[in-house]
Each structure stands twice: as structure tokens, then as C-alpha cells.
């Protein structure tokens, strides 16, 4: 699905990616697969299906899988583009995984490793066996029989950046292009994939990228192509002729460095340079991240663990699409090693092994808020206030202005700034704080190590994300108790379904019960109720959820408490 929107007088296509929150999985590590392919088929990747409720709780609606095709070791040494790595399963099992994700509204993006293959790639093995007689000699970049390779072959070939276990393909050869494009067609048809991340796109043949884009878009104009670009000019590859997007390594570095150095000026400079009016990448919807399979985990990079939340806030609310690398939502650590190389960055992770901690709930809230407000998905960018330890920026789309305020100090901080026209700023992140705006100026307090997301209105309350999308903040001291169910005798009794009167939500808002109704499509019973604040909005919620207990600081309390009848 796509729509057309006008920004600054120009028409732009809004793709599904603009509405997305990504979850990045490195499959071989995520599944705990053997580091060397043992030839046994094990359906390890099926556990992704068990992760679907976890993904939905984080408001993830797109998964980027690292390499999934047959390889010998780490996955980027492809042996066969047409078959899933047997350490993960097979084509049929992966098709079921993709179907389950799609059934739950989650897009699927695969790693397209087209620059090089492994030495076990079938065509390269034919060259090793038949030498000059092989019909595939010309499939590989600069392969010649004028010397020996570092692996002892009686021929020379080009390895990717000097790594001769990764054999560089000749992407100008028509049969190589045909082989790859037909593989992509199979992935689109059999697995229904929605996009590709192009590994080491920065060193790939641009004519091949151009042909790949035409091929994919002719089959599906919503197909997304994102390239790995580590440094340099992103627009060289992310442009109408080549790719749709690229990795934003500049802001990746700026986010962790700003927090470590207590210097928000660094990330503010990068964001302004890239995305402000006239910024060099204001037309590129970049792929944003705080860590991935190639770099140290964020929790190992930041000096102060209290800064983890604001680092994630930065990546969720800056222009572009945010991505969470699997396990980092819990703050797991991982650093590169001289002996273990990148493997510590790519551990086996199970939902049941990880704590439902404050960082995780913070990431859930980020996803809910981002997906609720168009300004955070499509809006322009403008720096509003920059201090060493405080940063406020504005995102604006159509008539909606949203201000993101972050504080990396250990103390609350009062700060003032000018706003667009409006009378109230509602913090939709904490769901309760409201500030008055006078003469287009406001004073706010940003909590220590905290984030505020402030929606500007003319007095009416904005459309808050559903309460279930914003998990209640639980103090660190109550982390353990929060998982225990309170004894029934400690609970306040729930009123009978349909009891008229005034109710108070557990976060403080008061509402008037109007009536019960029935969903015409599902026949589900609904409570219709009216807010007794703001513009008095009318709301509907399934009665099974309205009349329900929630856990707050280790105590079970009514979601809506009857306070008068």
C-alpha cells in the first residue's frame, strides 16, 4: 500500500517502511547454530514464530534477517542462493515463518549478499575441479591462471577486501546477473519477501544495482532496497536510480558518542546536516540503528547504562526508520574479540531467558509513540535547543508539531523554548504531563536520564497511544515484585460489567461510562466512555480489557476504578 503526500511543494511516495519499526536478527547466532556447517538439517529458525508476540509488544512490524542461505560458516560466504541454510531449516520451513510473520502484519527483509560468495559456492567449486575447462571461470572477478591464490589454488581471483574465503562475483556477467535475479524472483514468489538489504553495497557494481532495482520494482513497486554504506556520500547509492535507502553509520556513531562525551552537539550537528531544511539527505529515508551484527552492542559501548534509554529514543524519533538489533532491547552486552571475532555480538537469545526490564518497556513505549504520530514518521526536522546534556528537536508534518526533549544528566533539568502556534504541550510518552504554552513559548522539566515527547495542540488532548501500548513505568526496586501476582484479597474489587458512573484510569485520567455496545463485525462487547478532560473524546474498549487488573509497582489494581455512581 502506498499514498502520495506533499512536502515542501514536492510529491513523495509513502512506503510501508515509513510506518515501520524494524527488528534485526542475525539468524545463525540467534539460533545458536554450529559455526561450521555440519550438513545436518535442524529447524532452529522456527523459534522466530515464538518471538512474534514479543515483536508485536515492541510494535515491530518489519524483520530484517541477516543471511539465511546455504553457507559454510558465518552466512556471508554463500554456497547456494536457492536454498535456506540447513542449520536454520529448509525452504518449506522458512516459507512458513514468512507466512506467520506476514499474517501478523510483519514485513520480511532479507540480506542480499551479491558482491561475493563462499569458496563452497557450486560454480567456484567447478572452477577448482575443472580449472580452465570450467564454463564458470568468467563468473568471478579477475580470475586468471597466472599465479596461485592465498588458498593454494592454481589460479588467482579477487577476494572481498582481501578476504579470499569470500570470492568476488563478476556482476557484469549476464549469466551471473541472471542467476541472482532468478533467485530474487524465487524469494519474492516463495517467501513473499518485502525487501532486501544489500551487503557491502558501497563496493558493488552500480549497473547491477540499477538492473536489480528495475527488476524488483517491476514485480512489486513497494519492494524496498536498502544498501550497506559505512561512510561517504549516501546519495551516491540512495537515489531514484539505484537504492531506496541506506545504513546511517554517521548517526550511529553520533548517538553513542554524544552520550559518552556528554555532548549532544555532535548528534545534533549530524541530524541538522542530514535532515534539516536543505540537508544533504532530506530526501533519503535512512535505516537507523544503535548497534548491529558488525559493531559492539550498545550496552557495551555506552559508559553509563543510564544512557541506554535516551540512545534508543534518539534512533526512534530522528528522521528515517528505526531498527532494534535482537537482544539489545534487554541491554545484553557483546564486544568484538581478537579470538572470537564478531561471534560475541551474535549470541543465541530466547525470550524466556531475558528479563522484562525497564529498558525493554522503554523500547515498547518508543514503538507505540512513533507509530502513532505522523510527524515522527514523515515530519521535517529542526533543532530547537542544544546543550551539552540536553537536546530538544522538532518534527513537523502537515499541522502536527512534535517536540522530542532528552536529558542525559543525572538531575532533572528545566528548559524553555519557542514553539509553533498552540496553547498546550502534551507529553504522550509518559501519558500524563501537560505544559501551558504562552505566546509561543514554554518551560518544561526533562527528567534525569529522561525523554519527553510533546505534542502541540490548541488545548485539546491529542490521540494518545492506547494505554496498552504504553506499559506503566515500574520502578527498578519493584522489578522482581512486578512479575508476581498480588493475592486476591489485596485487590480492589472490579465493578460489574456495565456499571454506570465515573471511572479513574490507573494513570490518572477520569472518564464517564456511557453504555455498552457490540462490535458489528466481531460481536465483541465494548464499553463506550467519555474523557472528562481535554476535548472530552469518546472512546471504545472491549469490556474484557476495561474491566481488568493491571500490575503497577508490584500491585494488581483495576485498569479503571469506579469512583462514583
Q: What is the pLDDT of residue 479?
A: 37
Closest residue by Cα to residue 63 from 195, 188, 225, 229: 195
Please state which architecture CATH assigns to domain 486-564: Roll (2.30)
Rounded alpha-carbon distances, angstroms, from residue 283 to 314, 376, 380: 19, 15, 10
How far apart, in whole angstroms, are the C-alpha atoms of residue 327 and residue 192? 26
Q: Where in the chain is the domain with CATH 3.90.400.10?
A: 116-170
Q: Domain 19-107+177-374 falls in which CATH fold?
A: TIM Barrel (3.20.20)
Closest residue by Cα to residue 420 from 390, 442, 443, 435: 442
Contacts of 289 (CB under 8 A, 6+ apart): 24, 247, 248, 252, 315, 322, 323, 324, 325
Give the CATH superfamily of 376-469. Golgi alpha-mannosidase II (2.60.40.1180)
Q: What is the pLDDT of residue 489?
A: 43
Looking up cell 522466530 gives: 48
Q: What is the pLDDT of residue 468?
A: 52
C-alpha grid cell, residue 46 = 522456527
Q: What is the pLDDT of residue 353?
A: 80
C-alpha grid cell, residue 495 = 465493578
Long-range contact pairs involving 244-249 (C-beta distance under 8 Å, separation at least 24): 244/15, 244/17, 244/285, 245/17, 245/284, 245/285, 245/286, 245/287, 245/320, 245/321, 246/201, 246/284, 246/286, 246/287, 247/286, 247/287, 247/289, 248/274, 248/286, 248/287, 248/288, 248/289, 248/320
Specify the pairing of strand 400-407 against strand 434-436: unpaired
Q: Are 458 and 423 in contact (CB under 8 A)?
A: yes
What stretches of 5-162 show up as alpha helix (H) in DSSP? Answer: 27-30, 48-57, 91-103, 122-130
Residue 385 C-alpha from the chain's centroid: 26
**Helix H or strand E encompassing 451:** strand 451-457
Q: Where in the chain is the domain with CATH 3.20.20.80?
A: 19-107+177-374
Query: Which bin fits 182, alpha (ψ -120 to 50), beta or left (φ > 0)?
Result: alpha
Rounded alpha-carbon distances, angstroms, from residue 538 to 66, 331, 547: 44, 39, 17
Contacts of 438 (CB under 8 A, 6+ apart): none
Q: Domain 116-170 falls in which CATH fold?
A: Oligo-1,6-glucosidase; domain 2 (3.90.400)
Q: What is the pLDDT of residue 169?
A: 98
Give the CA diameter of the chain: 92
Sign (positive/negative) of CA torsion 95, 96, 98, 102?
Answer: positive
> Mind spelling out the 3-state secondary structure of 101-127?
HHHCCCEEEEEECCCEEECCCHHHHHH
How far apart, in whole angstroms, are the C-alpha atoms of residue 155 and residue 314? 50
**Helix H or strand E encompassing 198:** strand 195-198
Q: Where in the chain is the domain with CATH 2.60.40.1180?
A: 376-469
How far apart, in whole angstroms, are the C-alpha atoms of residue 223 and residue 195? 5
Specify the pairing of strand 107-112 against strand 321-325: unpaired
Count of CB atoms situated within 10 Å of the CB of 557: 17
Q: What is the pLDDT of residue 482?
A: 33
Q: Are 264 and 387 in contact (CB under 8 A)?
A: yes
Long-range contact pairs involving 539-547 (C-beta distance under 8 Å, separation at least 24): 539/511, 543/497, 543/498, 543/516, 545/468, 547/494, 547/495, 547/497
Contacts of 204 (CB under 8 A, 6+ apart): 114, 115, 171, 198, 227
Rounded alpha-carbon distances, angstroms, from residue 492 to 488, 550, 558: 9, 12, 7
pLDDT tens-place values along the chain, 565 residues long: 444 444 443 334 547 999 999 999 999 999 999 999 999 999 999 999 999 999 999 999 999 999 999 999 999 999 999 999 999 999 999 999 999 999 999 999 999 999 999 999 999 999 999 999 999 999 999 999 999 999 999 999 999 999 999 999 999 999 999 999 999 999 999 999 999 999 999 999 999 999 999 999 999 999 999 999 999 999 999 999 999 999 999 999 999 999 999 999 999 999 999 999 999 999 999 999 999 999 999 999 999 999 999 999 999 999 999 999 999 999 999 999 989 999 999 999 998 888 778 999 999 999 999 999 999 999 999 999 999 999 999 999 999 999 999 999 999 999 999 999 999 999 999 988 999 999 899 999 999 999 999 999 999 999 888 655 554 443 333 333 333 333 444 678 888 878 999 999 888 788 999 999 876 654 456 889 998 877 788 989 877 678 877 877 778 888 899 998 7
Amino acid at each position: 500500500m502506498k499514498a502520495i503526500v506533499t512536502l515542501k511543494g514536492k510529491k513523495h511516495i509513502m512506503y510501508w517502511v515509513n510506518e515501520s519499526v524494524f527488528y534485526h536478527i542475525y539468524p545463525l547466532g540467534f539460533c545458536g547454530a554450529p559455526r561450521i556447517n555440519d550438513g545436518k538439517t535442524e529447524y532452529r529458525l522456527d523459534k522466530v514464530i515464538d518471538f512474534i508476540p514479543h515483536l508485536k509488544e515492541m510494535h515491530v512490524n518489519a524483520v530484517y534477517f541477516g543471511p539465511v542461505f546455504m553457507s559454510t560458516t558465518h552466512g556471508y560466504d554463500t554456497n547456494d542462493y536457492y536454498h535456506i541454510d540447513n542449520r536454520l531449516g529448509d525452504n518449506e520451513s522458512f516459507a512458513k515463518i514468512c507466512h506467520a510473520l506476514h499474517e501478523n502484519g510483519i514485513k520480511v527483509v532479507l540480506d542480499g549478499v551479491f558482491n561475493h560468495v563462499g569458496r563452497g559456492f557450486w560454480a567456484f567449486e567447478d572452477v577448482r575441479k575443472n580449472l580452465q575447462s570450467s564454463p564458470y571461470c568468467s563468473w568471478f572477478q579477475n580470475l586468471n591462471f597466472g599465479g596461485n591464490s592465498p588458498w593454494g589454488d592454481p589460479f588467482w581471483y579477487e577476494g572481498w577486501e582481501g578476504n579470499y574465503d569470500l570470492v568476488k562475483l563478476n556482476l557484469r556477467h549476464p549469466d551471473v546477473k541472471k542467476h541472482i535475479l532468478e533467485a530474487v524472483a524465487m524469494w519474492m514468489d516463495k517467501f513473499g519477501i518485502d525487501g532486501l538489504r544489500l551487503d557491502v553495497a558501497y563496493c558493488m557494481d552500480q549497473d547491477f544495482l540499477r538492473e536489480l532495482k528495475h527488476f524488483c520494482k517491476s514485480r512489486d513497486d513497494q519492494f524496498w532496497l536498502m544498501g550497506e554504506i559505512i561512510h561517504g556520500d549516501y546519495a551516491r547509492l540512495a537515489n531514484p536510480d539505484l537504492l531506496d535507502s541506506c545504513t546511517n553509520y554517521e548517526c550511529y556513531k553520533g548517538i553513542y558518542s554524544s552520550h559518552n562525551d556528554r555532548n549532544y552537539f555532535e548528534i545534533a550537528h549530524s541530524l541538522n546536516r542530514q535532515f534539516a531544511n536543505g540537508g544533504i539527505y532530506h530526501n533519503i529515508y535512512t535505516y537507523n540503528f544503535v548497534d548491529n551484527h558488525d559493531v559492539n552492542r550498545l550496552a557495551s559501548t555506552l559508559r553509563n547504562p543510564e544512557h541506554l534509554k535516551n540512545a534508543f529514543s534518539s534512533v526512534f524519533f530522528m528522521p528515517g526508520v528505526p531498527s532494534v538489533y535482537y537482544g539489545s532491547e534487554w541491554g545484553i552486552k557483546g564486544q568484538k574479540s581478537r579470538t572470537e571475532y564478531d561471534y560475541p555480538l551474535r549470541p543465541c537469545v530466547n525470550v524466556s531467558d531475558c528479563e522484562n526490564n525497564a529498558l525493554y518497556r522503554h523500547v515498547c513505549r518508543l514503538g507505540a509513540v512513533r507509530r502513532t504520530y505522523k510527524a515522527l514518521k514523515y515530519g521535517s526536522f529542526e533543532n530547537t535547543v542544544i546543550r551539552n546534556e540536553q537536546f530538544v528537536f522538532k518534527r513537523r508534518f502537515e499541522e502536527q508539531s512534535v517536540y522530542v526533549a532528552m536529558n542525559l544528566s543525572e538531575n532533572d533539568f528545566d528548559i524553555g523554548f519557542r514553539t509553533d502556534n498552540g496553547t498546550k504541550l502534551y507529553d504522550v510518552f509518559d501519558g500524563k504531563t501537560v505544559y501551558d504554552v504562552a505566546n509561543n513559548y514554554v518551560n518544561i522539566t526533562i527528567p534525569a536520564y529522561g525523554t519527553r515527547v510533546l505534542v502541540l495542540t490548541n488545548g485539546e488532548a491529542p490521540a494518545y497511544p492506547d494505554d496498552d501500548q504504553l506499559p506503566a513505568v515500574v520502578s527498578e526496586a519493584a522489578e522482581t515484585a512486578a512479575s508476581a501476582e498480588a493475592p486476591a484479597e489485596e485487590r480492589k474489587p472490579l465493578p460489574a460489567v456495565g456499571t454506570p458512573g465515573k471511572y479513574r484510569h490507573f494513570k490518572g485520567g477520569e472518564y464517564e461510562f456511557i453504555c455498552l455496545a457490540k462490535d458489528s463485525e466481531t460481536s465483541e462487547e465494548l464499553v463506550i466512555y467519555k474523557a472528562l478532560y481535554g476535548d472530552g473524546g469518546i472512546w471504545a474498549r472491549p469490556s474484557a480489557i476495561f474491566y481488568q487488573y493491571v500490575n503497577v509497582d508490584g500491585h494488581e489494581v483495576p485498569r479503571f476504578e469506579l469512583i462514583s455512581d
